[in-house]
Amino acid sequence: MPSAVAYFTNARLIVAPVSPTPSGIMLAHSPRWFGKSVKKPILAAAIADAMAAATSPLPDLIPEQAKRNFIPFQDAAGVKNFKTFMRDAHCVDLDSDGARVTLTPLTNLGPSNGFEPNDGDAVTVPATDSDAVAGTLLHLLGLRPAPSA
């Protein structure tokens, strides 16, 4: 099941694929960032690219790599450390079963505790409606009003 993650922090929207490793760990990687006024078609294309990239497995990380795995996300956000990244970060997980994409907002518990899924606020949209996927993501990140039905 392809997955991606989106963050909004430091006035930047970051989208990245989430790929499996041989040991079964899911790793976010290859972040792309956009300004908060990103147009839906551009965001929709980035989400589609992230979902496509998520199907390719990644090698397991050695401990030294694991410590540095999040640095590209900090760079994408334009911040120097994880604490600053997490200060006002919003996060949404995107999971596709091929027919639908489920967008699940996560609650920011701070730099020590990360994010916690808020399954009660998850939204499912047709995978073929890239405009709805992008619009729902922007809404869940607090960047746009709710998309009209």
Does residue 148 fall inside a structural domain?
no
Does residue 149 fall inside a structural domain?
no
Does residue 33 fall inside a structural domain?
yes
Domain extent for 98: 3-140
Q: Identify the CA nearest to 46 among candidates 78, 94, 88.
A: 94
Which amino acid makes up residue 46? A
| pLDDT tens, residue by residue, 83-92 | 999 999 999 9
Residues in the chain: 149
Does residue 14 fall inside a structural domain?
yes
Q: What is the SS3 assignment for 123?
A: strand
Separation between Cα atoms, residue 135 and residue 112, nearest integer Å: 30
Q: What are phi and psi of 85, to 5 degrees?
A: -55, -45
Q: Identify the CA nearest to 111 among candidates 135, 76, 84.
A: 84
Q: Which two tokens stand for residue 96?
A: 């596709």
| pLDDT tens, residue by residue, 56-73 | 999 998 888 877 899 999
Does residue 97 fall inside a structural domain?
yes
Does residue 56 fall inside a structural domain?
yes
Does residue 109 fall inside a structural domain?
yes
Which amino acid makes up residue 55? T
Does residue 57 fall inside a structural domain?
yes
Residue pair 46/32 in contact by the 8 Å Cβ criterion: yes
Can you give the CATH number for the domain in which 8 is found? 3.40.1590.10
Domain count, the chain: 1
Angle at 82 between CA 91 and CA 26, to 5 degrees: 55
Which amino acid makes up residue 139? H
| pLDDT tens, residue by residue, 102-146 | 999 999 999 999 999 998 999 999 999 999 999 999 999 999 988
